[in-house]
Structure 1
Amino acid sequence: MPNPPQRQVTIAQVAEYAGVSQASVSRVLNRNAKVDPAISAKVLDAIDKLNYSPSQMARNLVRGRSNTVALVVPDLENPMFQGVLKGLSREAARDGYRVLVADTAERVADEEEIAIEARSRCDALVLVSPRMPAERLEALLDRVRPTVVVNRLVSGEPAAELSVDYAHAAGTLGEHLLSLGHTRIAYLAGPPQSYADNLRRRGLVELTARRPELDVVDLVGGSAIEDGYRAAEQVLSSGVTGVVAFNDLVAMGLLARLRELGVDVPGDLSVTGIDDVPLARFAAPALTTMSVPRLELGAQSWRRLRDAMAGEPATHPLSYRAILEVRASSGPAPEASGWLSPGRPVLRLADRIVARYEEGTSIDQVLSPRPFLHPVETLGGVRVTDVHPTDHLHHLGIGVALPDVNRTSYWGGRTYVQGVGSVMLENQGTQRRDELELVGDDTVTERLTWIDEREVAQLSEVRSIRGRAVRVGERDAWTLNWRSVLTANFGALRLGSPATNGRTGAGYGGLFWRFPKWDAQVVTADGVGEELAHGSRSPWLAVTDPARPVTVLLMQPAGTEPRPWFARVSEYLGVCPAVAWDEIVEVPEGGTLDLGLDALLIDRAITDAGELAALVATHRSDWHPGPVAHPAPKA
Structure 2
Amino acid sequence: MAEYAGVSQASVSRVLNRNLTVDPAIAAKVRDAVETLNYSPSQTARNLVSGRSNTVALVVPDLENPMFQGVLKGLSREAALDGYRVLVADTAERVADEEEIALEARSRCDALVLVSPRMPSERLEALIARSGPAVVVNRPVSSDPAAELSVDYEFAARTLAEHLATFGHTRIAYLSGPPQAHADRQRRRGLADVAARYPGVEIFDLAAGSQVEDGYRAADALLAAGATAAIAFNDLVALGLLARLRELGVDVPGEVSVAGVDDIPLARFSAPALTSMSIPRIEIGAQAWRRLRDAMAGAPATHPLSYRPILEMRGSTGPAPESTGWLSPGRPVLRIGDGIVARYDEGTTIDSVLSPRPFLHPVTTLAGVRVTDSHPTDHLHHFGIGVVLPDVNGTSYWGGRTYVQGVGSIMLENQGRQRRDELEVDGETLVERLTWLDEREIAQLSETRTITGRPVHDAAGREAWALGWRSGLHANFGALELGSPATNGRDGAGYGGVFWRFPHWNAVVVTEDGIGEELAHGSLSPWLAVVDAERDVTVVLVQAGDDAPLPWFARVSEYLGVGPAVAWDAIRTIAEGGRLVLGLDALLVDRTVTDAGELAELARLARPVGPEAPLPPARPAPRA
Select the residue among 53, 57, 74 that pairs with 2:44: 57
Aligned mates of 1:366, 1:291 — CA distance in 2: 29
State the superposition RMSD in angstroms. Answer: 2.5
User: Which of 584, 589, 592 pairs up with 1:605?
Assistant: 592
Structure 1 residues 348 and 567, CA gap change in structure 2 (3 angstroms): same
2:431 is aligned to: 445
- What's the counterpart of residue 291 of structure 1? 278
1:459 CA drift (Å): 2.9
Task: Determine the structure 2 residue equivalent to 1:301.
Answer: 288
Query: 1:502 and 1:65, CA in 2 relative to 1: closer, same or farther beyond 3 A?
Result: same
Structure 2 counterpart of 1:632:
621
Amino acid in structure 2 at the alignment position of 1:296:
E
- Residue deviations 1:399-432 (CA, integer Å, cap 9, x gap): 1122223343322333333333334444433222
Name the SS for the 2:499 alignment partner: strand
| Equivalence for 1:4 | none
Equivalent positions of 1:252-271 (< 5 A) are 252-271=239-258
| Aligned counterparts of 1:352 and 1:212: Cα–Cα separation in 2 | 26
Q: Report if the CA contact (8 A) 2:474-2:618 is conserved.
A: no
Structure 2 stretches lacking a partner, 5+ long:
none
Per-residue CA deviations over 1:297-323 (Å, capped at 9, x if unaligned) read: 212212222232233333332222212
Mapped to 1, the partners of 2:75 and 2:222 lie a distance apart of 37
Structure-2 separation of matches of 1:563 and 1:353: 31
Picking from 503, 517, 523, the partner of 1:536 is: 523
Which residue of the other structure, out of 472, 495, 507, is the alignment partner of 2:458? 472
Counterparts of 1:339-488 in structure 2, within 5 Å, are: 339-438=326-425, 440-473=426-459, 474-488=461-475
* Residue type of the alignment partner of 2:254: G
Amino acid at match of 1:393: L
Following superposition, the deviation at residue 179 of structure 1 comes to 0.6
Write the letter of the residue equivalent to 1:598: D
The aligned residue for residue 259 of structure 2 is 272
Kindly report which structure 2 residues correspond to 1:55-454, keeping only aligned pairs within 5 A, or say none.
55-438=42-425, 440-454=426-440
In structure 1, distance between residues paired with 2:411 and 2:390? 13
Q: Is the 8 A contact 1:269 1:333 kept in 2?
A: yes
- Would you say the 8 A contact 2:74–2:282 is kept in 1? yes
Would the aligned equivalents of 2:389 and 2:398 in 1 still touch at CA under 8 Å? Answer: yes
TM-score after normalising by structure 1: 0.90
- Contact 1:447–1:631 (CA<8 Å) still a contact in 2? no
Deviations 1:189-209 (A, max 9, x none): 112222211221222123222
Per the TM alignment, residue 443 of structure 1 is displaced from its structure 2 partner at its CA by 1.3
TM-score (norm 2): 0.92
| Secondary structure in structure 2 of the residue aligned to 1:480 | strand
Partner Cα distance (1:405, 1:25) in 2: 79
Q: CA deviation at 1:260?
A: 2.7
* Equivalent residues of 2:154, 2:187 under 8 A apart: yes
Contact 1:386 1:396 in 2 (8 A): yes
Residue deviations 1:494-530 (CA, integer Å, cap 9, x gap) = 3222222322111112111111222322222222221
C-alpha distance in 2 between matches for 1:48 and 1:410: 71
Post-superposition CA distance 1:110-154 (Å, at most 9, x none):
322221221111100000011223333233323322111111123
Maintained 8 Å contact 2:587/2:605:
no
Give me the whole-angstrom Cα distance separating, in 1, the residues matched to 2:507 and 2:479.
Answer: 40
Instruction: Give the 3 Å change call, closer, same or farther, for CA 25–296 of structure 1 in structure 2.
Output: same
TM-aligned CA deviation for residue 335 of structure 1: 0.5
Q: Give 2:285's aligned amino acid.
A: G
The structure-2 alpha-carbon separation of the partners of 1:42 and 1:451, relative to structure 1 and needing over 3 Å to count, comes to: farther
Residue in 1 aligned with 2:488? 501
Distance 1:103 1:526, change over 3 A: same
Q: Residue by residue, what CA displacement relative to the aligned partner does 1:338-360 show, whole Å, maximum 9, x if unpaired?
A: 10001000111122211110112
- State the shift of 1:49 in Å: 5.5
Contact 2:545/2:582, CA 8 A, preserved across alignment:
no
Number of equivalenced pairs: 617
Aligned-pair CA distance for 1:531: 1.2
1:460 partner letter = S
Letter in 2 for 1:572: Y
Greater shift after overlay, 603-612 or 79-88? Answer: 603-612
CA deviations on 1:594-631 (whole Å, 9 max, x unpaired) are: 21111122223322222333343454346344332234
Label 1:296 to 1:533 Cα distance change in 2 as closer, same or farther (>3 A).
Answer: same
- Counterparts in 2 of 1:43 and 1:102: CA distance versus 1, 3 Å: farther
Deviates more, 1:552-561 or 1:500-509: 552-561
Rate the CA distance shift 1:617–1:213 in 2: closer, same or farther, 3 A. Answer: closer
* Maintained 8 Å contact 1:556/1:620: no
2:580 maps to 1:593: yes
In structure 2, what is the Cα distance between the partners aligned to 1:596 and 1:461? 13
Write the distance in 1 (CA, Å) between the matches of 2:483 and 2:43.
73
What's the secondary structure of 1:231's corresponding residue?
Answer: helix
SS in 1 for 2:130: helix
Is the Cα contact below 8 Å between 1:464 and 1:625 reproduced in 2? no
Deviations 1:179-226 (A, max 9, x none): 110000111111222221122122212322232321122112221223
Residue 282 of structure 2 aligns with an amino acid whose one-letter code is: L
Unaligned runs of 5+ residues in structure 1 are 1-8
Q: Structure 1 vs Structure 2: percent identity of aligned residues?
A: 72
Q: What is the match of residue 623 of structure 1? A: 612
1:306 and 1:401 map into 2 onto residues whose CA distance is 53
Aligned to 1:3: none
Question: For the residues of structure 2 that align with 1:151 and 1:247, how far apart are their CA atoms?
Answer: 14
SS of the residue aligned with 2:487? Answer: coil
Q: Say whether the 8 Å CA contact 2:210–2:233 is kept in structure 1.
A: yes
CA contact (8 A) 1:416 1:423 kept: yes
Find the residue that maps to 2:76 and give its secondary structure.
helix
Amino acid corresponding to residue 262 of structure 2 in structure 1: D
Preserved contact between residue 553 and residue 564 of structure 2 (Cα < 8 Å): yes
Secondary structure at the aligned position of 2:276 is classed as strand
Q: Secondary structure at the match of 1:500?
A: helix
Pairwise CA distance, 1:99: 1.7
C-alpha contact (below 8 Å) 1:495/1:585 kept by paired residues? yes
The separation in 1 between residues aligned to 2:430 and 2:15, in whole angstroms, is 73
